[in-house]
Amino acid sequence: MTSDLDQHLTRHLAEATEAVAAVVDLDDLRALDAELLGKASVVIEARRGLAAMDAEQRKDAGRRLNEVRAALEHLLAERRSTLEAEARAVTLEAERLDLTELDTGRRLGHRHVVTQTWERLEDIFVGMGFTVAEGPEIEDEWHNFGALNFPPDHPARDMYDTLYVDHGEPGSTLLRTHTSPVQIRVMESTEPPIYSIMPGRVFRSDTADATHMPVFHQIEGLVVDRGITFGDMAGTMDAFTKAYFGREFTSRLRPSYFPFTEPSAEFDILRDDGSWLELAGCGMVHPSVLQAGGLDPEIWSGFAFGFGLDRLALMRHGIDDLRELFRNDHRFLSQF
């Protein structure tokens, strides 16, 4: 082999190495491959020159040419796999799905703060030995008023802004204004002793403001047994509020009036700002109400209370506007 050819091939390999390294695109690499190994390539040209050489030179030159061609093939193959890996990475990045973004739209929901309060109250009272009863939201006049000792046209009916339902005799069917009608239904269907709570939704034609809603929730309590006293009632309400709010709280009972209890009281709790919030009405079940429920007031006595369930939720969570509970603003509700 002539040293000319040797130098020529060495230079060619050096130039080819640089050219291969400079290619950044698979199409360009294919073109370079044809240029370096194809019919018009330096290697093929040189091979053609072998015929003119003597046997010894041809053998050396032939070996050298094979080495150079193998080196070129190796260079090209390496560069191809690098470029292919890069192209794959680009495609993967472009087609990537951000699964964490998807997640924000698919958070698990949770129970509404009113439902949580409802269930918590049931748990506390069940723990105190009470059973849970429910009644209809659409009531008859008798259960909502008559049986609860509101005679027809009694002014105490004006305490409730009643929503009537267009069904039967005018004024005979209504959306219950309180959960107290369930007291009557429990007495009608249960033999004393009765220790029951009756949570539920109630309706009044009130204008919504920070402390009133036309639809809200109450939890009624009814105890009927032998020898029940006002002291039992005060003790029960105190035990309940301590269980619900914790031991540090101040409450008071204040004389009040309800046709279905005698004596009657209002149960208030002290707020942080020093004002009192009315949480419940309560009292000793009126003998006429026991009678309306089919019970003999000479044998049985009892007490009843009705808490505003939503107000219990407000107090516990330090919410200052009742309307927040019903706006269904996810950002607000997700805090509880």
Nearest approach, Cβ of residue 143 and ligand PHE (Å): 12
Q: Is 216 in the site for ligand PHE (CB under 6 A)?
A: no
The structure tokens 């036309």 sit at 214
Exactly one of 135, 283, 293, 302 binds ligand PHE (CB under 6 A); that residue is: 283
In angstroms, the CA 214 to CA 219 distance is: 16
282: helix, strand or coil: strand
Nearest approach, Cβ of residue 99 and ligand PHE (Å): 51
Nearest approach, Cβ of residue 124 and ligand PHE (Å): 18
- Mask for 224-263, x = binds ligand PHE (CB under 6 A): ----------------------------------x--x--
Length in residues, the chain: 336
- Lookup: tokens for 103: 């997640």
Q: Is 281 in the site for ligand PHE (CB under 6 A)?
A: yes
Nearest approach, Cβ of residue 333 and ligand PHE (Å): 26
Nearest approach, Cβ of residue 101 and ligand PHE (Å): 49
Determine how many CB atoms are found less than 10 A away from the CB of residue 150: 19
CA distances from residue 215 to 35, 251, 267, 315 in whole angstroms, order as listed = 85, 26, 21, 18
Report the largest interatomic distance among the alpha carbons of the chain, rounded to a whole angstrom.
139
Strand pairing of 138-140 and 194-203?
unpaired
In angstroms, the CA 208 to CA 206 distance is: 6
Our CB check for ligand PHE shows the closer of 281 and 293 to be 281
Our CB check for ligand PHE shows the closer of 62 and 263 to be 263
Q: Is 199 in the site for ligand PHE (CB under 6 A)?
A: no
Binding residues (CB under 6 A) for ligand PHE: these are 178, 180, 220, 258, 261, 281-283, 304-306
